[in-house]
Amino acid sequence: MHLHILGICGTFMGGVAALARELGHTVEGSDQNVYPPMSTQLEQLGIVLKSGYSAAHLQPAPDQVIVGNALSRGNAAVEHFLDAGLPYVSGPQWLGEQVLRGRQVFAVAGTHGKTTTTAMLAWILDACGRAPGFLVGGVPQNFDVSARLGRGAAFVIEADEYDTAFFDKRSKFVHYRPQIAILNNLEFDHADIFPDVAAIQRQFHHLVRTVPGNGRLIVNAEDTHLAEVLAQGCWTPVTRFGLDSGDWQARLNAADGSAFRVLVEGADRGEVRWDLIGRHNVMNALAALAAADAAGVDITSAIAALATFRSARRRMERVADTAGISVYDDFAHHPSAIATTLAGLRARVGTGRILVGLEPRSNSMRQGAHAHELAPSLRDADAVVLLQRAELPWDAARVTDALQGRGATAPTVDALLAALRAQARAGDHVVFMSNGGFENAPRRFAALLAQCDA
């Protein structure tokens, strides 16, 4: 079958493309922004990428068009396939019908930590002999690809609450029909499509309604918004996790979260020692371990697997150590994620200086929905340079002024890099935070350091 995927370089749609290719389909796709790492993965799979959304890209006509949720009416490719009467389907619906049906589906939902927890659970299952399929909304470093069919019954899917397509405004995850679902956390996000937290809770409850009575919900015991979701009705056994409450708990042996004991209903089941940091990643680990346990995986083996887990790319990924300065690339999209990530780094580096280059890139951040929370989320940073592009509709000085001398704005990425370079010195940790390409800022900064050090 000849498939054309619109929005193919998004992390989710790129995973759909990889799965379709593995199923034996002829796959090509179009996207407005073609950039690594997804473009590199797709090219390595032999998938033809076309830049832009020209109607000509759909000629000759494919057998089916798979539509990403970045596409809307008025787009030239959308108008063409509608006018031509071409068969079309959303990415989540195609995935649910063509890949997930008949599988033991593990869905990982939440405002934060979906990519890391999905990759983590897939690695645990793989290390324990389950050979799972998976689709991760990023590039997991334990695997060669972001998505694969797998050889076993299990399939782990990153379950996003964002809407499905221009013609299907339900959340993506309602298409997945999981037997085991992780509800990691729930905060206000996606201000472009959700008016308030209650609207997001409604979508999460739609997911809860799809989990069978002989399945399992793995739920953050410390999240009041999730408790309110379950109070709307729950028909599935619930396992709860948390640092200090729940069926699965953790006792930190290192302040930065790099070592902790796993407690199940009060019983010590083993220690995790790994390369990840931050309390948020300890929570992610508890969720993944509880989900694996619900599927019958040996706990001791699951805990041992985490010692060799490597997080997805762009999740506090250290990209360089140059001139005595450590440079990190982090996929930050929400103040809570920024705060917990920097807190983990602070616990690891102690009094070492932390410099942050921040791009308000997500739809919610660009709209200013989280502007009042940004300064508090940066409390562990010693200096912050915030990218204020000309098209940003709010004044970033609202944030930098609140940082009381620790913050500045820059109109371009070049200016941001120059400002950080002027401040950075040996022993510093420089973190670039954005959920977009950020014009390759972390690696450009590392190259700038190398030039100055030569």
40 Cβ contact partners less than 8 Å away, ≥ 6 residues apart: none
pLDDT at 450 over 60: yes
- What pLDDT score was predicted for residue 435? 77
Sequence-separated contacts (24+) of 262-266 with Cβ below 8 Å: 262/286, 262/289, 262/299, 262/303, 264/293, 264/299
Q: Kindly indicate the confidence band of residue 381, based on its pLDDT and cuts at 50, 70 and 90.
A: very high
3-class DSSP string for 274-340: CCCCCHHHHHHHHHHHHHHHHCCCCHHHHHHHHHHCCCECCCCEEEEEECCEEEEEECCCCHHHHHH
Question: What's the predicted TM-score (pTM) here?
Answer: 0.83
Q: Are 71 and 81 in contact (CB under 8 A)?
A: no
Residue ranges in 350-433 assigned as alpha helix (H): 363-367, 371-377, 397-402, 413-423
Q: Kindly indicate the confidence band of residue 369, based on its pLDDT and cuts at 50, 70 and 90.
A: low
Domain 317-453, what architecture?
Answer: Alpha-Beta Complex (3.90)
What phi and psi values does residue 195 have, to the nearest 5 degrees?
Answer: -75, -25
CA distance 161 to 109: 7
Q: Where are the beta strands (DSSP E) in 59-143?
A: 64-67, 88-90, 104-109, 133-135
- What pLDDT score was predicted for residue 339? 87
CA distance 263 to 271: 9
Structural domain spans, the chain? 2-90, 102-308, 317-453
Dihedral (CA of 190, 162, 171, 75) sign: positive
- What pLDDT score was predicted for residue 361? 76
pLDDT tens-digit readout, 273-313:
998 888 889 999 999 999 999 999 999 999 999 999 987 77
Percent of the chain with pLDDT over 70: 96
Q: Kindly indicate the confidence band of residue 365, based on its pLDDT and cuts at 50, 70 and 90.
A: low
Other C-beta atoms within 10 Å of 209: how many? 13
Q: If residue 77 lies in a helix (H) or strand (E), which one and from where to where?
A: helix 76-84
Q: Are 279 and 249 in contact (CB under 8 A)?
A: no
- What pLDDT score was predicted for residue 66? 98
Other C-beta atoms within 10 Å of 170: how many? 16
What CA dihedral angle connects 239, 242, 244 and 250, to 10 degrees? 100
């199940």: which residue's tokens? 264
**CATH of region 2-90:** 3.40.50.720
221 Cβ contact partners less than 8 Å away, ≥ 6 residues apart: 240, 241, 242, 245, 246, 247
Q: Token pair for residue 350?
A: 């102690």
CA triplet 18, 19, 22: central angle to 5 degrees?
Answer: 90
pLDDT at 436 over 80: no
Helices and strands of the chain, counted as H and E runs: 15, 23
Q: Token pair for residue 179?
A: 């037997």
Q: Which CATH number fits domain 102-308: 3.40.50.300, 3.50.50.60, 3.90.1150.10, 3.40.1190.10?
A: 3.40.1190.10
pLDDT at 59 over 80: yes
* DSSP one-letter code for 359: -
* 3-state SS assignment for residue 163: strand
Dihedral (CA of 78, 438, 435, 359) sign: negative
- What pLDDT score was predicted for residue 368? 57
Q: Kindly indicate the confidence band of residue 56, based on its pLDDT and cuts at 50, 70 and 90.
A: very high
217 Cβ contact partners less than 8 Å away, ≥ 6 residues apart: 180, 181, 183, 208, 211, 230, 234, 236, 237, 238, 239
